[in-house]
Amino acid sequence: MIRFMSLLVAFLMLFSLVGSSALAQVDQNRVRNRFAAELEKTDRVIEQARMAINRSNTAYDAEYLRVANRQAEELLRKAEAHQNQARVLNNTNSSLTDLAYGGKLTVMARELALKAIAIKKRAEGKVEENEDAILRQLEKTDRLVEKLREKAPASIPDRLKSAFDTALENQRRAWELYHERALRASLKLSRQAEKSLLKLGEHLRSENMENQRLQNQIIQAEQKLEQFRLDIQECNSDEALELLNQADEKLKECYRYLNENENERIQNSLKHAQSFMQKAARLCSDTESLTRALNKLEAEIENHAERIIGSGNNAAIGLLESAQQHLKDARSLCDGGDNQACAARVKAAQMNLRKALKLAGN
Instruction: List, for residues 232-250, the tens digit of each pLDDT value.
Output: 666 667 788 888 889 999 9
Please give the pLDDT value at position 190.
92
pLDDT(256) > 90: no
- Shared domain for 267 and 331, answered yes or no, is no
pLDDT(304) > 50: yes
- Shared domain for 292 and 276, answered yes or no, is no
- Shared domain for 296 and 277, answered yes or no, is no
User: Do 63 and 56 meet the contact criterion of CB atoms below 8 Å apart?
Assistant: no
- Shared domain for 8 and 97, answered yes or no, is yes
Residue 62 lies in a domain: yes
Average pLDDT, the chain: 79
Distance CA 198, CA 202 (A): 6
User: Do 120 and 68 meet the contact criterion of CB atoms below 8 Å apart?
Assistant: yes
pLDDT(13) > 80: no
Please give the pLDDT value at position 233.
66
- Shared domain for 82 and 112, answered yes or no, is yes
Distance CA 60, CA 307 (A): 98
Of 79, 94, 126, which residue constitutes the final position of a domain? Answer: 126
pLDDT(159) > 80: no
Q: Degrees (nearest 5) of the Cα angle 82, 87, 88?
A: 100
- Shared domain for 100 and 10, answered yes or no, is yes
Please give the pLDDT value at position 322.
92
Residue 175 lies in a domain: no
Residue 354 lies in a domain: yes
Please give the pLDDT value at position 155.
54
pLDDT(204) > 80: no
Range with lowest mean pLDDT among 49-58, 139-148, 291-300, 350-359? 49-58
- Shared domain for 293 and 214, answered yes or no, is no
Q: At what angle do helices 158-179 and 96-123 cross, to 10 degrees?
A: 50
User: What is the domain extent for residue 38?
Assistant: 2-126
User: Do 342 and 330 meet the contact criterion of CB atoms below 8 Å apart?
Assistant: yes
Radius of gyration of the chain (CA): 36
- Shared domain for 13 and 109, answered yes or no, is yes
- Shared domain for 254 and 276, answered yes or no, is yes
Distance CA 358, CA 107 (A): 73
Please give the pLDDT value at position 9.
46
Q: Degrees (nearest 5) of the Cα angle 357, 358, 360?
A: 65
- Shared domain for 122 and 7, answered yes or no, is yes
Distance CA 79, CA 53 (A): 14
Residue 196 lies in a domain: no
- Shared domain for 278 and 214, answered yes or no, is yes
Of 81, 101, 126, which residue constitutes the final position of a domain? Answer: 126
Q: Which residue, among 159, 186, 157, has the nearest Cα to 170 in the 3D structure? A: 186
User: Do 301 and 323 meet the contact criterion of CB atoms below 8 Å apart?
Assistant: yes
Of 126, 151, 185, which residue constitutes the final position of a domain? Answer: 126
pLDDT(61) > 50: yes
118 — pLDDT class (breaks 50, 70, 90): confident
Q: How many domains does the chain have?
A: 3
Global pTM reads 0.39
Distance CA 316, CA 228 (A): 26
15 — pLDDT class (breaks 50, 70, 90): very low
pLDDT(325) > 90: yes
Distance CA 117, CA 178 (A): 11
Please give the pLDDT value at position 48.
83
Residue 108 lies in a domain: yes
193 — pLDDT class (breaks 50, 70, 90): very high
User: Do 323 and 349 meet the contact criterion of CB atoms below 8 Å apart?
Assistant: yes
pLDDT(81) > 90: yes
Top mean-pLDDT range of 153-162, 330-339, 351-360 = 351-360
Question: What CATH number corresponds to the domain at position 90?
Answer: 1.20.140
162 — pLDDT class (breaks 50, 70, 90): confident
- Shared domain for 11 and 113, answered yes or no, is yes
